[in-house]
Amino acid sequence: MLYNLLFVLYITTMNITFKPTQPGLPEWFTYIEPASTAIPEWYQKMPLLIEGHKKLGVMRNSPDGSNLTLKGCTPMMDAFMAGYVFKLPADIQFTKDGDEIYANWRIAEKIMDVHNKEQYPGLPLIEMSKDSEIIFKVINPIQVITPKGYSCLFTHPLNRHDLPFKTFTGVVDTDVYPNPVNFPIQLNKFKDDMYILEKGTPIAQIIPFKRDDWESSYDKFEESHREKGLYTLLSKIVRSYKNQYWVKKTYS
């Protein structure tokens, strides 16, 4: 039985490889790490229970509502921890001079470039601000390699609305594409004429997935199905979703 269990674990664990594509990259800085290393401070400091509550339970005036805050939302935590994150390898200083924005850093490696404006005609601006008109590109020197049949979703760090930029989303077939993927970002509106994006800031979330062909269909409404699903969910008071439905995911 133990042998069979180990065999199942072996065949269901996939391997993702991060391969440097430039010589002399600093070994003391890890560009890509599991997303679990980038849980934001505001989320970590958030209380687990709604103010005034001391134990997990339901709301007195709303029995079908849990007294958990977002801190206890398992799907949200799953999103934070999904896949891997590319972290900024050094501080970048953005300086605004009129309608122009400049990016500067102190290390020797090139870590940012700018997209030609002709490449994105008609692109909507964030908050309708000219500060987001320049599309910067964060340079990633690490190739992501996945097993055959697997691609990666490269996207803005999930649930990170607090970051002063928006990373563009793309899907790359990383099992065959032989180059690193860079990350275009669109800055939010400046509050000051200068600010520093700090080393270690998560720039992009990298989520591997298996390519499958899908067909969609619509099923008919069934009252018994709805009632059973709702009953099962509400039959447990403490963390019903996590204890009855959730499946653990591991990225290391």
pLDDT for residue 27: 66
Instruction: Report if residue 116 sits inside a domain.
Output: yes
Q: What percent of the chain has pLDDT over 90?
A: 68
Residue 127 clears pLDDT 80, i.e. is over it: no
Task: List 246's β-bridge partners, or say none.
Answer: none
User: What CATH number is associated with residue 200?
Assistant: 2.70.40.10
Instruction: Report if residue 49 sits inside a domain.
Output: no
Let me know: does 144 contact 206? Beta carbons within 8 Å: yes
pLDDT for residue 52: 84
Q: What percent of the chain has pLDDT over 70?
A: 93
Instruction: Report if residue 222 sits inside a domain.
Output: no
The encoded tokens of residue 44 equal 């970590």
Domain that holds residue 92: 2-36+81-210
Instruction: Report if residue 251 sits inside a domain.
Output: no
DSSP conformation letters of 105-168: -SSSS--EEE--GGGSTTPPPGGG-GGGSSEEEE---EEEE--TTEEEEEESPTT-TTSSEEEP
Instruction: Report if residue 110 sits inside a domain.
Output: yes
List, for residues 154-213, the tens digit of each pLDDT value: 999 999 999 999 999 999 999 999 999 999 999 998 888 999 999 999 999 999 999 999
- Overall number of domains in the chain: 1
Instruction: Report if residue 128 sits inside a domain.
Output: yes
> How many angstroms separate the CA atoms of 198 and 200, rounded?
6
Nearest-10 Cα torsion for 21, 135, 170, 173: -30
Count of all residues that appear for the chain in the document: 252
7 falls in which pLDDT band (50, 70, 90)? very low
The stretch 217-233 carries a mean pLDDT of: 93
CB atoms within 10 A of CB 82: 21
> What average pLDDT does the chain have?
90
Instruction: Report if residue 59 sits inside a domain.
Output: no
The stretch 10-31 carries a mean pLDDT of: 79
Instruction: Find where tokens 């594509």 sit.
Output: 21
Which of 14-23, 81-90, 175-184 is predicted with the least confidence, judged by mean pLDDT? Answer: 14-23
Higher pLDDT, 50 or 79: 79
The encoded tokens of residue 198 equal 């700090």
Instruction: Report if residue 55 sits inside a domain.
Output: no
